[in-house]
Structure formats: C-alpha cells, structure tokens
Chains A and B, each alone.
Chain A
C-alpha cells in the first residue's frame, strides 16, 4: 500500500497564546509548533498499514518554512519521502483552498490511501480531507477510529465515531481518504537511528506551476472565508477564583462547597 498522510503544524496546546498586535491572529513569534494531534495518529496508522502490507508512506504538509520540522519528524518516524507545499500563495487558505492544493500534489502520484487528521487544533475546519477526497473522486470517512485493510486491498473496514459513545462499522472501497480521530492507536516515538536516516530522505517542494494551480485558486486568495480578528472570549459570569496558597485555597473552597453551594 502506498499511503499519503497530510499533516499540519499547529501551535503547541501547552503554549501561552497572545493576540498579535494587529489583532488578526495570534502572535506566532517565539511560539512552539507541533504536529497537529490527530495528524500524528494518522501518521502512525499509515506507518502500520504500510508496514503490514509492504508499502511506503509519504508525508505532505502545506505551510511556511517551519513545517519542514513536522515533515522531518514524519520521516524520522518512518515515512519514506516528504512533500512540502511552501509557496506563499498556498498559505492562509480555508478547507476548500487547502484541500485543493493538497489534492493536486496527491493526484500527481499513485496512492492507495490518503490519511489526514480529523480536525486541526488551530482553525479546526475539519473538512480538508473530505475536500481532497472530492477532488480525487474517492470515497471518504471523517472521524475514523479503526482501519482494517481487507485481503487484496480493494476495501477497508472502517470504524467511525458517532456521537454519544457509539461507533459505526463501515466497508469502503479503496482508494479512499480517511480522516483519523485522535486515540485510534498509540503513536511511536522516533528513534535516534530514524532521526539520522531522516536527514537523507527526499523532501520535494512542488511549485504552483508543477501542480497546475493558479495562485488565485489556492491559499487565502482562493478562500471564501477570511479570519479578520481573534480575541479571548468574554468570560461571562465566570468562576469565582479562590486565591491563596494551595492549602488556603483548598480550605476556602471546601467551606464554600459546604456552606454556599451545599454540595458536600
């Protein structure tokens, strides 16, 4: 099986976020970036499928220069090659524009399967993989919690998360795009050997022309929505914050839970 994995780099969930001076987005200076959580699970799933079937994994990321770090991590974990869509024109797209560019890169080669994460932890449009599938004319499934490739590789048995603790078991023809949900597996760690080997693995940087795309059709220019500002949410009534060192605060809280809220 030849499996492509689309990965996005997003701010570390641990990072303290600040709004940029111009208010249009967060301040990315000095911000730590990591591979989007569900994409990491997608990569692990792809590696397992390729190992089992004797194939290869290609990692693809659209983003500025910094996303090379995410791609290198993918290579260190076992992907054979990387593709980086780095042209300025690709950046800032909505799910439709980003999916279109990714599909153009994927469509240049022959893959049996494309995996993406279910949703990015930054803008969270949750549709990029489905858009890729649409362009390729393949079936897709979102929120995938299990993939079993059937003997012969013509179909996959897929577990899809539904609401309220239920899973749906599906049978889907390949090639297909599956948008993987966090928790599907337990991702491996990169080995030192893997990290060394990654340095020699190829990283392609296809241009717009090579992918047959117009700058107006991708990235921010090709998007129907535009984020004009971000802000911390108004906290509404909000919690009564109990101050003091841990011992004091704990005692005050217990008193309040007993006497005020009457739940203890």
Chain B
C-alpha cells in the first residue's frame, strides 16, 4: 500500500492534528503491509518546518511544495498542487487531519481526481473482508462502520483526538520536492483579512467553574436556571453552538472547535448532547457533570458524574443544594 499524509501547517508551525494524523497514517501503513508513509507539506516559506518534519518523524519522504501561490491557504492553490502530485503517484490512501481547512478542499480534490472520500475517521480494524473504518454519525449518538469499495485513491480524514499525537513514530524522512507546476496552482479566492468572532472575547479559559447551556435548555426565556446555578457557584456561563445560533447567548460564550477551549476545575453541561465539535473544547476539564434527559447522550461517556433528568427540575434543586452547602 502506498500511503500519503497531507500535513497542515500555519505560519511555519504544524497544526496540532497533523501529528495525530501522522500517527493514524503510520498505523494504517502497519496494518496494510508495513510500508512507509510519505508526507506532503504545502505552503510558502516553509523550508525550516520541512526540515524539522523530515528530521522528526518516521516517514519515507517529505514532499514539499514551497511557493508564493501556496503561502496562504486557498482551495484553488491546494487542490491544483495536490491533484497533479496525487494523480502522478497514485497513492492508495491520502490521510488528512479533519480540520476546517481540510474539509474545505478535500471533497473538491476527490471530485477532481475521481478519488473516493472518507471523512472523519476515528478508528479502523481489520476483519476477513478487509478494513473497517469507524466514524461518528447523527451527532456522535451512533458510530458507523464503513467499508471502502472500488478502485483508486481514497482520501481519508482523521478526527481530532482519535489518535494520540505522542504515538506518532519519531525518525526521519527524505526531503524532496513535490512534483508539479506550482505556478499553475492559482488561488481562487482573495483573502481580505481575519477577524475575531464577536469582536472582543470574553475569556472563559481562566474560569474555574463553568456552567454550560445546551439546546436542551429550550429557549432564551428559559436560561434563568443556568444563571441561578452559575450565580450560586460563582461560575462563568458558556454554551454549545445551537444556544448561540439561536441568540440565547452572545457568540463569545461558545465552547468547542469554533469557540473557546477551556479546562476548568468543574464543567457542568446541561442539555448538551456531547457532539465532538463541542467536546473538543471542554474535554480537558478536571471534573465534568452532565445533566441530560437522554441516558444515551454521548456527553455522559466523558463525564465524571451524571444526572438523567429534566434540567429544569435538576438545576434548581442543584442550585438550592449548593446554596445550602455554602451556608454550612
């Protein structure tokens, strides 16, 4: 098997998930005959990083595309550069970290190449019929097992946290230039700038206790139970995305992949199902408490304590119990 990995970098630094994806690609290589993994690194002015990668990880080669057209990420530039190289080398697998950047262009790349697409893989196993991949479906409430069929290159992305970055094997790889005409890899969008969402950010990363509201709260007019509990605990209020999307709280209180990443002493998740895009932002919390009416909600699997029930009954009771405890 010929396995490639496309590393993501920004400003000369590898994306955190690139290392996880190296671990996944190395694992895939080991499971499919033990070949080496070839890495691809795209960007502008990335010579130093390329050397670091080539000297840091057990890779067959590090194929570098270093060109002003690729200095800022655009799907036009990236798809053109990668298409030519992938079409020429015809790897069986091309592994990507499942980042907002990869998702933006992977499907487009697959379509153009006539390759297959398998996004958001969290594990793989082997059975009599070959490889079986796991990926979350229905907001992480279920896990699907997926098989690949047909011929030709498959593009696969690896979900955050599924492989440990530390398990990426150290070693080295040969530094080479990625094949193809990079002058023809033209950006298809103009980047006007970058801004912080919601302007001035409330910094939730310093909070010791966070009470987080989910869609299960049920409305802007029903947030009182969250506010009361937060007041009793001296906690900051945060939320999952739908709460913000619905306008029940401002955008700068969002926790998750598009919001803030927090690791308080205590995180109380009320009416939150526990989708990966939320949990990446809070799974570092020391103690997690989940309150949810659905005993099967994925949030329970990464919580220390759980109460199954209606949050509109449980939270007021909890507020009262905390007030009582503080009076002692």
Asked if B118 CB lies within 8 Å of chain A CBs, one says: yes
* B88 interface residue per 8 A CB criterion: no
Contact at B317–A246, with CB atoms within 8 Å? yes
B173 within 8 A of A: no
Contact at B301–A233, with CB atoms within 8 Å? yes
The CA of A141 and the CA of B75, in the complex, are separated in Å by 8
User: CB-nearest residue of chain A relative to B106?
Assistant: A127
Evaluate contact between B306 and A240: CB separation under 8 angstroms.
Answer: yes
- Whether A235 contacts B300 by the Cβ 8 Å rule is yes
Contact with A along B35-56 (1 / 0, CB 8 A): 0000000000000000000000
CB-CB under 8 A from A231, the residues of chain B are 142-143, 145
Query: Are B197 and A166 in contact, CB atoms less than 8 angstroms apart?
Result: yes
Q: Within the complex, which residue of A139, A165, A241, A242 is in contact with B189, where a contact is CB–CB below 8 Å? A: A139
Q: Which size bracket describes the interface of B in this complex?
A: 35 or more
Q: Does A201 contact B (CB under 8 A)?
A: no
Q: How far is the CB of B239 from chain A (nearest CB, A)?
A: 12
Q: How many contacts between A and B, using CB within 8 angstroms?
A: 274
B139 an interface residue at 8 Å Cβ cutoff? Answer: yes
Mark A181-196 against chain B: 1 for CB-CB distance below 8 A, else 0: 0110010000000000
Residues on the A chain within 8 Å of B273, using CB = 13
CA A71 – CA B275 in complex, angstroms? Answer: 27
B224 within 8 Å of A (CB atoms):
no
Complex CA–CA separation, A167 to B198 (angstroms): 10
Cβ B143 vs Cβ A168 within 8 A: no
Judging by beta carbons under 8 Å apart, are A241 and B103 in contact? Answer: no
Structural contact, B108 and A182, CB atoms closer than 8 A:
no
Q: Are B321 and A232 in contact (CB under 8 A)?
A: no
**Contact residues of A: prevailing secondary structure:** mixed
Say which residue of B117, B144, B150 sits within 8 Å of A227 (CB atoms): B144
Q: How far is the CA of A249 from the CA of B105 in the complex (A)?
A: 48
Contact, CB under 8 Å: A163 / B104: no
Q: Which residue of B lies closest to A103 (CB)?
A: B111
Partner of A261, one of B117, B141, B304, B320: B304
Q: Interface residue tally of chain A, by bracket?
A: 35 or more
* Contact call B304/A26, Cβ cutoff below 8 A: no
Q: A165 CB to closest chain B CB, in angstroms?
A: 5
Q: Which of B105, B111, B241 has the most CB of A within 10 A?
A: B111
Select which of A13, A135, A182 is within 8 A of B245 by beta carbon. Answer: A182
B197-A224 in contact (CB<8A): no
Q: Which residues of A contact B320 (CB under 8 A)?
A: 247, 250
Contact check, B325 vs A264: say whether CB atoms are below 8 A apart.
yes
**Interface check B169, CB cutoff 8 A:** no
Which residues on A sit within 8 Å (CB–CB) of B189?
Answer: 139, 141, 158, 170-172
A99 to B116 alpha-carbon distance, docked (Å): 13
Contact of B75 among A139, A239, A246 (CB under 8 A): A139
B122-133: CB near A (< 8 Å → 1, else 0) gives: 000000000010
CB distance from B141 to the nearest CB of A (A): 6
> A225 contacts the other chain (Cβ, under 8 Å)?
yes
Q: List 15 A-B contacts (CB under 8 A).
A: A26-B138, A130-B104, A130-B105, A141-B75, A168-B193, A169-B192, A169-B195, A171-B190, A172-B188, A225-B118, A233-B298, A236-B301, A239-B288, A253-B289, A253-B307
Known contacts A225-B116, A239-B301, A241-B300; 10 additional CB pairs below 8 A are A123-B137, A130-B107, A141-B104, A165-B258, A166-B195, A167-B197, A172-B188, A232-B142, A233-B140, A261-B304
7 smallest CB-CB distances across A and B, nearest first, come from: A127-B107, A224-B116, A183-B245, A239-B306, A134-B111, A250-B317, A239-B303
